[in-house]
A and B are shown apart, each in its own frame.
Chain A
Amino acid sequence: MEIPRETLIRMLELMLKIRHFENRVKELFAAGEMPGFVHLYLGQEAIAAGVCATLNQDDYITSTHRGHGHIIAKGADMKYMMAELYGKATGYNKGKGGSQHIAWPGLGILGANGIVSGGIPIATGAAMSAKLRKSGQVAVAFFGDGASNEGAFHESLNIAAAFNLPVVYVCENNLYGVGTRQPRVRKIENIADRASGYGMPGVVVDGNNVLAVYEASLEAVKRARMGEGPTLIECKTYRWRTHFEGEPDTYRPPEEVEAWMRREPIAPYRRHLIEQGIISASEAEALEQRVIAQVDEAVEFARNSPFPAPESALEDLWA
């Protein structure tokens, strides 16, 4: 498949943004600079980048508690994201949502979601909306392996297939639902097998290979946009960190974590692009430095931003 050069470089840039943003959040959170909880996307960068590279700006996504990667990949500005994580007035959602609830409809981001599977019916409804409005938009629901055992997943997939809705279900199977290894509580090996039960294609891809994710997503998005209905894509991956920052890792064998970290998605892809002559080593290095500078800028912006006025807690409830 011929992938445009700018798309190939864009995917590298998105993955680098996610990696550096999340590493910085990890440090700032550990330093006590951020309130609340954060769930990091480190290790899963190829999925958000590969899928969102196949979407238009007005296509919809719903995300999860582990949502920073999806939000960045859909085109969000890290400044307003970081400010939201700090609970500042300049955040995307004025400090009312925080890490788990970043949304920006102008980029089709219908929200990260603190309820496991909460975004799946919402994406399905956005797909119904796009279909009835004949807008040509596609909706993508990102969710984890844990969410695939929720009723919302099964009900949504059945309806989406029955109505041929323009939606793509992207399951990020990172093996663990909070602290439970999912194969212990699920009989089947591949979550994608569930697709056939609803009458849609189910695809398993290496979630740490951005090109594999991109190709699967491109096909699914094309199908959706042509009115041929939904697809379930299962991306096999792993989260480097625990469920949330600060949680002791008592439930994963260290050798398993190390093995997956050796399979990290960015360095091999970067080597591949250099070998293929898509980008030079120095260009790649310059790209990474630009990303790091953007993350620095985002942190400065967040730190220097004001907190919201306490009384603003009473605003924005009613439309």
Chain B
Amino acid sequence: MREISFSQAIVEATAEEMRRDPSVCVWGLDVGPYGGAFGCTRGLYEEFGPERVLDMPISELGYVGMGVGAAATGLRPIVELQFSDWITLPSDALINQASKMRYMFGGILAVPMVLRAPVGGYLAAAGQHSNSFESMFAHIPGLKVVLPSTPYDAKGLLKSAIRDNNTVLFFEHKKLYEIKGPVPQEEYTIPLGKADIKRPGTDVTIVAYALMVRKALAAAEQLAREGISVEVLDLRTVSPLDEEAILNSVKKTQRLVIVQETWRRCSVGAEVAAIVAEQALDYLDAPIVRVTAKDVPIPFSPVLENYVLPQEDDIVAAIRRVMRA
């Protein structure tokens, strides 16, 4: 099968959906002739023109809020934030408007908007360009939150997100953009809310998503040489969560390590741990272990950043810990 990069997968998914549905349009900062800061809208302006690919001023609340209004009135806007860190600025449009309009109005309209935004660290980009805010938004009823880990998943999930009638936050890890992987030429979609076993195993389950899936797979490979069989479950969507897949895997392996790049407190990983504690505690042979960022802002100096963010070695150590118990 041919291989394309994660960012090319984003472009392909967007272009295919724009060809399929004239109500799909793209707006954001530098998404036009510039092609997007990470190349994720490259070629769209040339193919679809300035009516459907709109460069916006640096007014995040303005243009994300407009996405809400446009989505409520017949368009399917894909709004790109150049960095997800800036999502604090349009947060009212997401938290008080997009997520609530359908519910508050008694189900009489929908807000089919996709907000795409790069997340993540390991780039020495410091405290305002390295964040992963998915836990905050997974907390909000009415928003779907997706974080793919491969080009294949990115393409299939983005196509589903664009077709979804709800507001979907689609977070793309910056360290994944240039990673290549197999993506078929043929049309396919991947349903939102379904986790995926990226590596089957029998001794311990790692629940991870986004870039952490790659780190988990590397750790699993390392431990396989020691005879430890690690299952890597990629959540892909953190809201809604695929509880069934998490519980099935944990019931099989009876050990759970949760890996996430973002902070520990009140996070997606905390939710996963709570679900397992509530519904599968009797199956566990060892306490749940979480590998997360330390609860401080992401620091600049690589020495500091690497200390704060989870590393492959931390995952290996966590697995050894649950295996000893």
Contact A319 B102 (CB under 8 A): yes
Say yes or no: is B106 at the interface (Cβ < 8 Å to chain A): yes
Contact B66 A118 (CB under 8 A): no
Which B residue sits closest to A101, measured CB to CB?
Answer: B104
Contact A115 B97 (CB under 8 A): yes
Task: For A126, list chain B residues within 8 Å (CB).
Answer: 69-70, 72-73
Say yes or no: is A168 at the interface (Cβ < 8 Å to chain B): no
Task: For B112, list chain A residues within 8 Å (CB).
Answer: 319
Contact B66 A159 (CB under 8 A): yes
Contact B65 A96 (CB under 8 A): no
Say yes or no: is A291 at the interface (Cβ < 8 Å to chain B): no
Contact A101 B105 (CB under 8 A): yes
* Known A118-B97, A122-B97, A319-B165; contact A129-B105, beta-carbon cutoff 8 A: no
Say yes or no: is B247 at the interface (Cβ < 8 Å to chain A): no
Task: Report A102-145 residues with CB < 8 Å from chain B CB.
Answer: 103-105, 110-111, 113-115, 118, 120-130, 132-133, 135, 139
Contact B62 A152 (CB under 8 A): yes
Alpha-carbon separation in the docked complex, A128 to B113 (Å):
14
Say yes or no: is A23 at the interface (Cβ < 8 Å to chain B): no
Task: Report A281-319 residues with CB < 8 Å from chain B CB.
Answer: 315-319
Task: For A79, list chain B residues within 8 Å (CB).
Answer: none
Task: For B64, list chain A residues within 8 Å (CB).
Answer: 121
Which A residue sits closest to B54, measured CB to CB?
Answer: A163
- Tell which of B65, B67, B101, B108 touches A156, judged by Cβ atoms closer than 8 Å: B65
Which B residue sits closest to A139, measured CB to CB?
Answer: B69
Say yes or no: is A60 at the interface (Cβ < 8 Å to chain B): yes
Task: Report B62-80 residues with CB < 8 Å from chain A CB.
Answer: 62-75, 77
Say yes or no: is B200 at the interface (Cβ < 8 Å to chain A): no
Number of A interface residues at 8 Å Cβ cutoff, please give it. Answer: 47
- Tell which of A91, A122, A132 touches B52, judged by Cβ atoms closer than 8 Å: A132
Which A residue sits closest to B66, measured CB to CB?
Answer: A125
CB distance from A227 to the nearest CB of B (A): 13
Say yes or no: is A155 at the interface (Cβ < 8 Å to chain B): yes
* Known A111-B105, A128-B66, A316-B106; contact A155-B59, beta-carbon cutoff 8 A: yes
- Max chain B Cβ within 10 angstroms of own Cβ: one of A60, A159, A162: A159
Say yes or no: is A269 at the interface (Cβ < 8 Å to chain B): no
Contact B103 A123 (CB under 8 A): no
Which A residue sits closest to B77, measured CB to CB?
Answer: A125
Contact A129 B109 (CB under 8 A): no
Which A residue sits closest to B110, measured CB to CB?
Answer: A319
- Tell which of B54, B77, B105 touches A97, judged by Cβ atoms closer than 8 Å: B105
Which A residue sits closest to B111, measured CB to CB?
Answer: A319
Contact A159 B141 (CB under 8 A): no
- Tell which of A120, A132, A319 touches B166, judged by Cβ atoms closer than 8 Å: A319
Contact B109 A133 (CB under 8 A): no
Which B residue sits closest to A155, measured CB to CB?
Answer: B62
Task: For A162, list chain B residues within 8 Å (CB).
Answer: 57
List residues of A whose CB falls within 8 A of some B CB.
Answer: 60, 62, 91-97, 101, 103-105, 110-111, 113-115, 118, 120-130, 132-133, 135, 139, 151-152, 155-156, 158-159, 162-163, 315-319
A115-B97, A155-B59 known; 7 new pairs, CB 8 Å cut-off, are A121-B65, A125-B69, A126-B69, A133-B75, A151-B61, A156-B66, A317-B103
10 contacts between A and B (CB under 8 A): A93-B106, A95-B106, A101-B105, A121-B63, A121-B69, A125-B68, A128-B66, A129-B70, A152-B62, A319-B112
9 closest pairs, A vs B, by CB? A121-B65, A125-B69, A155-B62, A125-B66, A316-B107, A319-B165, A122-B69, A155-B59, A94-B106
